[in-house]
Structure 1
Amino acid sequence: MKTTPLLALLGGAMMSAHAWSAPEYISDLDITSFDGTVLDANLFVPETPAPAEGYPTVIFTNSWGLEKRQYHFQAKELAENGYLVLSYSTRGFGHSGGLVDVAGENSIADVGVLIDWLESNYSVGKLGMAGISYGGGISLLSAAQDSRIDAVAALSGWADVVEALYPNETVNLVWGSLLVTTAFDKEAELEQVWDDLRSGQNMEQVIEFGAKRSAISYVDQLNENGTAVLVSNNFADYLFKPNSMTDFFSLLEGPKKLMLNPGTHAITETLSGNDGHIWSTSFRWFDHHLKGKDNGINREPKVDMTVRISNKLEHYEDYPVTQESTTWYLQPRFTMFNSGSMESGKYDGWSWSNEFHGGWDTFAGTGIPLVSDALEGFGIPVYAPMMAINGYYAIEYKSPRQSETLKVRGAPKLEMWIEPSKSEVQMNVHLYDVNFFGLGRLITHAPITVRTEQPGKKQKVEVELFTTSYDVPAGHRVVMAIDTQGPIYKKPQDTNYTITVPYSSSKVSSLTVPHL
């Protein structure tokens, strides 16, 4: 039988309309959890019948302070492609009952109840979880506890709560305060832990609280479950910094994918930054591991790293992405109006020392908290006028001019001898790309708070700066500026202190920078 062109056209249009017809959307679901807490959820159900193996299924978990409708467009897109998609508000947020427990036992148990509910009411096949920030952390922790979760996309999530709120024993004051004050219905324990952390009391309990809620504590369970884990973090995320996530990623033995992007916490993913690469890769991850689609993602390099400022996307087989590095050795400055230098050879001159002091912030810094970090995702870096950094309250070291582009990839590491005058001092270490005019662009930074029972005694400190991907142009210098406080971190109660830096053949300080 012949088919006329008009009938063929109409038939094709009908088939296309059927393939892309809107899924059923159930906007309000009340699902009762194990303890009677009612969780508010919504659901997208594909119009197409479930496959023999069941619908590929995704559960979306909200970010801190947000609720079930956060991922409406992503959920709809997945449902249009055959996924059963449940989004819910975690306890204490949105219209869900209960109290926020920071991904505690109750919140993780809720996920098991949601999976039970889905399996009781629909044909569920392979199942995945996804979320940004709080949702990413809960996704990883839930997958460790429940082997029914086959794949995870954790975006701006965390691997180590302690490292997030207490990096190098320094209280992350801005981010911690923001989290605590924006959780209105929270367990009393959260407020107590934050008070203890800020005051430095009951630290064993604080660390135990964090460890129970850290995915890095459960990496063995994830490996045993064979969970396919995708994680994405951002270089200027000074809450959930990439360092602990790269450590976590290196411990995973199953299918895994790591994306490292410019920008700050959750902004890059929420605004579909990085040219949409994060969400499109997450969808491909689910297509392969939940639908069984041979889209090649399992054969691609495991690490996607986007260079800051230029936003150039690079691919690497694994992390760390390079084994190459350059070590520069710190040389003294001769007055507080000069910089020290960083040279390829160790210091071998007469014993010498420099001093810088607490009590004042300098132009060395990370910019306006939250705002500058967000702008970095759009290629707008943090600048600092290096000549304006006060040499009484800070110390600088400059590298030779680079003969070619220095492609920094990874976490620089500082090993430095100091002599603190008080039992508690703080150092904020900043690494800059400095041009011919003395204007610096921030490459990375890290704080460290040093506590000692023997003030006045020389000791060696080690600081791993936050992971970055940055190209220092030929002709520029790398400059390290160290001061004693900044707006992000809680400063010591007594800031009237001196930090002395000794130099001798036995007290050698150095900066090691990983690069391609």
Structure 2
Amino acid sequence: MKTLALPALLAAALCSLFTPVTRADPTFIADLDITSFDGTEIDANLFVPETPPPSGGYPTVLFTNSWILDKNQYLLQAAALAEDGYLVMSYSTRGFGTSGGLVDVAGDNSIADAGVLIDWLEAHYPVGKLAMAGISYGAGISLVTAARDPRVDAVAALSGWSDVIEGLYPNNTVNLVWGTILTTTAFNLEPEVDTIWHNLRTTQNIQAVEDFAAPRSALAYVGELNRNGTAVLMSNNFADYLFKPNSMTQLYSLLDGPKKLLLNPGTHAVTETLGGNDGHIWATTFRWFDRYLKGEANGIDSEPKVDMTVRISNRLEQFDDFPVTQKAKRYYLHPRLSYFNNASMKTSPYSGWGWNNDFHGGADTKAGTGIPVISDALEGFGIPVFTNMTGINGYYAIEYNSPMHWSTFKIRGTPSLEMWIKPSKPEVQLQVHLYDTDPLGWGRLITHAPITLRNLQVGQAQKISLDLFTTSYDVPPGHVVTLAIDTEGALYQKPQDRHYEIEVPYRSSRQSVLTIPHL
């Protein structure tokens, strides 16, 4: 993402909060030009420890850059590791920094480059166990390389992805803001990437998009990661609306080898870059390397596998596994009387007369995720997205309120919604939001998710299902949970025809249910 906004700030602020323990000064080689398999020059740097290699060779880390950043992104972390006896190379992936070639979005060429760099390290130094690590783009490349190259013993994938489709096309909805940032900030893109983005924007040839995404997604390589026994550390952020936690929790659940999952407040790459959740992410990453590269018995393999930091309060909690709880509250949707009334959610099913509510497309409401990217980043510093809930309910939206909670309601995991709708057009979009609403009517965003539905049966009642984005949030006593649904959001591309009606039928035989996991 070669933009002067967030990613450049991330690079500038990268290392200010990490203080290593000083040992011997390593040797730093600032510029290495390594020729890849096809003659492309890959730019790298290298830290070599002053200490002699252990009998099994140096524990080695290969850092991979984030989108539009370069080999210098991890200088402080690399120096700290080298002072602790690690051999550390950082490089600019093809098309970024001064490396040659074109950006192929973790395609075959980029994965082959990583293998060439490992070859080079092994040819010039005594390499022991080896890890790959990176933030964002570097995380995705690290995971795919680890699956395809058994020489990678461990991975630290920070703000990474395991499913390209989920990132750019969540629930068949074009992630317009993040997709535009990606495609307009890399100046050396493979032409195929522009074609894929055009296909998504125009919703044509989606099969080609899926064919492009699959080999670039770690979920396609679960078997290989398990066979390799790769020790996988993953860190993702609740307000990361590019690479949501959902697909990473799915990958986590499918891995059989050593694994650890960190879930944090904040948005894409910011939490890992600006101090790492009070230093926790990078400290855990270093401990991960010490255990699985050096073989140190530091206890990380016997600790709880899931570290989840509560949104807004930034309180760290640890759990044995994910999902972190088997408890769930089921709220059944009940109707509103008119556009001027709120609907309700109750713990008992709807059993009244047949009733219908409707809301319409064509305009946005105050339900939303705030200012794209900026509001998400501020959440990592405990600043939530607020909205006045009275500006949501009405002609263009519908709002369901739960009963008041008399004790803290600790939401932990992935809320889901099953809802009956009767659309007036074959294509509609829903923006589904979950809020914590106080007695004065101010709501704080808990989570959300979009869904775009196509080829619907016009005028026919049909049930839709979706998962909202994974979250961790405490609803205080005296507050209610609000489900607010409208049809437009600042992050996402709108349908071409925005003028439609969505009717919500309420029948004893057609229950719409919101399920919220909690402690």
1:197 counterpart = 2:197: no
Q: Distance in 1 between matches of 2:476 and 2:260?
A: 29
Q: Which amino acid aligns with 2:469?
A: F
The one-letter code sitting in structure 2 at the alignment partner of 1:354 is N
8 Å CA contact 2:414, 2:470 repeated in 1: yes
SS of 1:341's partner is strand
Aligned to 2:105: 102
Q: 2:132 is matched by which residue type in structure 1?
A: M
SS in 2 for 1:309: coil
Aligned equivalent of 2:491: 488
1:354 aligns with 2:354: no
Alignment partner of 2:279: what SS? helix
Report what 1:242 is aligned to.
Answer: 245
Deviation at 1:453, TM superposition (A): 4.5
Q: Percent identity?
A: 68
Superposition pairs for residues 415-430 of structure 1, below 5 Å?
415-430=418-433
In 2: Cα distance, 1:467 partner to 1:20 partner = 41
The residue number in structure 1 matching 2:319 is 316
Separation (CA, whole Å) in 1 of partners of 2:178 and 2:35: 32
Structure-to-structure mapping, 1:24-103, within 5 angstroms: 24-103=27-106
Which of 505, 513, 519 is the equivalent residue of 1:510?
Answer: 513
Q: Do structure 1's residue 381 and structure 2's residue 384 form an aligned pair?
A: yes
Corresponding letter in the other structure for 1:209: F
| Cα separation, 2, equivalents of 1:227 and 1:68 | 24
Name which of 110, 130, 140 aligns with 1:137: 140
- What displacement does 1:126 show? 0.3
Q: Hey, what does 2:183 align to over in structure 1?
A: 180
What is the distance in 1 between the residues matched to 2:258 and 2:166?
A: 25
CA offset digits 1:32-78 (Å, max 9, x no partner) = 00000000000000011111110000000000010000000000000
- Which among 251, 258, 263 is matched to residue 260 of structure 1? 263
* Partner Cα separation in structure 1 for residue 73 and residue 407 of structure 2: 45
Deviation at 1:454, TM superposition (A): 2.2
TM-score norm. by structure 2 comes to: 0.95
Aligned to 2:329: 326
- Aligned twin of 1:222: 225
SS at match of 2:81: helix
Q: CA deviation at 1:273?
A: 3.3
1:299-344, Cα deviation, whole Å (9 max, x unpaired): 1000000000110000000000000000010000001011110001
User: What is the alpha-carbon distance in structure 2 between the residues aligned to residue 465 and residue 511 of structure 1?
Assistant: 10
Point out the more displaced range, 400-409 or 448-457.
Answer: 448-457
Deviations 1:375-425, CA, capped at 9 Å, x for gaps: 000000000100122410000000000021100000100100001101110
Q: What is the root-mean-square deviation in Å for CA atoms of aligned residues?
A: 0.9
Q: 1:447 to 1:257 in 2, by over 3 A?
A: same
Structure 2 counterpart of 1:469, from 458, 467, 472: 472
Matched, 1:113 2:123: no
- Compared with structure 1, are the counterparts of its residues 498 and 308 closer, same or farther at alpha carbon in structure 2 (3 Å cutoff)? same
* 2:300 matched residue in structure 1: 297
Q: 1:4 corresponds to which residue? A: none
The letter of the residue matching 1:416 is M
CA distance in 2: counterparts of 1:485 and 1:296, whole angstroms: 47
- For residue 402 of structure 2, what is the aligned residue in structure 1? 399
How far apart are 1:211 and its partner, in Å? 1.0
Q: Distance in 2 between matches of 1:351 and 1:63?
A: 54
Distance 2:396 2:429 in 1: 12
Q: Give me the whole-angstrom Cα distance separating, in 2, the residues matched to 1:330 and 1:185.
A: 49
The one-letter amino acid paired with 1:411 is T
Matched residue, 1:168: 171
Q: 1:23 aligns with which of 26, 29, 54?
A: 26
Identify the residue that residue 340 of structure 1 maps to in structure 2. Answer: 343
C-alpha displacement of 1:185: 0.3
Aligned partners of 1:171, 1:186: CA distance in 2, in Å? Answer: 20
How far residue 19 of structure 1 moved from its aligned partner, in angstroms, is 7.5
Verify the 8 A CA contact 2:291 2:297 in the aligned structure 1: yes
1:362-373 equivalence runs, <5 A: 362-373=365-376
Aligned partner letter, 2:92: S
2:276 aligned to which of 240, 261, 273:
273
Count the aligned residue pairs.
Answer: 499
Aligned partners of 2:422 and 2:450: how far apart in 1? 17
- TM-score norm. by structure 1 comes to 0.96
Q: Report the Cα distance in structure 1 between the residues aligned to 2:292 and 2:203, rounded to whole angstroms.
A: 44
CA contact (8 A) 2:393 2:399 kept: no
For residues 82-127 of structure 1, give each alpha carbon's deviation from its aligned partner in whole angstroms, at most 9, with x where no partner exists.
Answer: 0000000000000000000000000000011000000000000000
In the alignment, is residue 146 of structure 1 matched against residue 149 of structure 2? yes
8 Å contact 2:24–2:51 — kept in the other structure? no
C-alpha distance in 1 between matches for 2:460 and 2:193: 37
* Equivalent position SS for 1:130: strand
**Within 1, Cα distance between the matches of 2:92 and 2:404?**
52
In structure 1, list runs of 5 or more residues that go unmatched.
1-17
Distance 1:299 1:82 in 2: 24
Q: Secondary structure at the match of 1:22?
A: coil
